Amino acid sequence: MTLPVTELSGSRRMIGEAHGRIHARLIQHSLTVYAQLFHDFVGIDWDAARREAGRFQAMIERGFPAILEEMDGIARGAGVDFTDVLTLNCRSEIALTRASGGCSAFALLRDGQQWLAQNWDWRTDQLHNVVVLRIEGIGRPALISIGEAGMVGKVGLNAQGIGVCLNAIRSQTCGEGLPIHIALRKILESPDWDSALRVVTDDRVCSPAHFLLASAPPASEACQALGLEVLPGEPGRLEAQGGLVTHTNHLYAPAATRQVEDFPRADSRPRLARLNALLDGESASQGSLDEARLFEILSDHQGAPMSICRHFNPDQPPDERMETLFAVVMNLSQRRLTLRHGKPCETSDSLSLTLA
Task: Tell me the pLDDT tens digit for each residue of 29-86.
Answer: 999 999 998 988 888 999 999 999 999 999 999 999 999 999 999 999 999 999 999 9
The H or E element containing residue 163 is strand 162-168
The reported pTM is: 0.96
Tens of pLDDT along 121-174?
Answer: 998 999 999 999 999 999 999 999 999 999 999 999 999 999 999 999 999 899
Q: How many Å separate Cα 342 from the centre of its chain?
A: 16
Q: What is the DSSP string of 282-339?
A: TTT--S---HHHHHHHHT--TTTTSSSS----TTS-GGG--EEEEEEEEEGGGTEEEE
Q: What number is the average pLDDT over the span 199-209?
A: 96
Instruction: Give the strand order in the sheet containing 143-148.
Output: 5-10, 130-137, 143-148, 155-158, 162-168, 209-215, 224-230, 236-239
Q: Summarize pLDDT for 70-110 with one digit per residue, the tens.
A: 999 999 999 999 999 999 999 999 986 566 567 999 999 99
Rounded to whole angstroms, the Cα distance separating 135 from 152 reads 10
Cα 262 to Cα 251: distance, rounded to the nearest angstrom? 7
Q: How far apart are CA 319 and CA 331, in angstroms?
A: 35
The CA distance from 116 to 108, in Å, is 6
Strand ordering across the sheet containing 113-122:
244-247, 104-110, 113-122, 323-331, 336-341, 351-354
Q: Per-residue pLDDT tens for 276-295?
A: 999 997 766 766 899 999 99
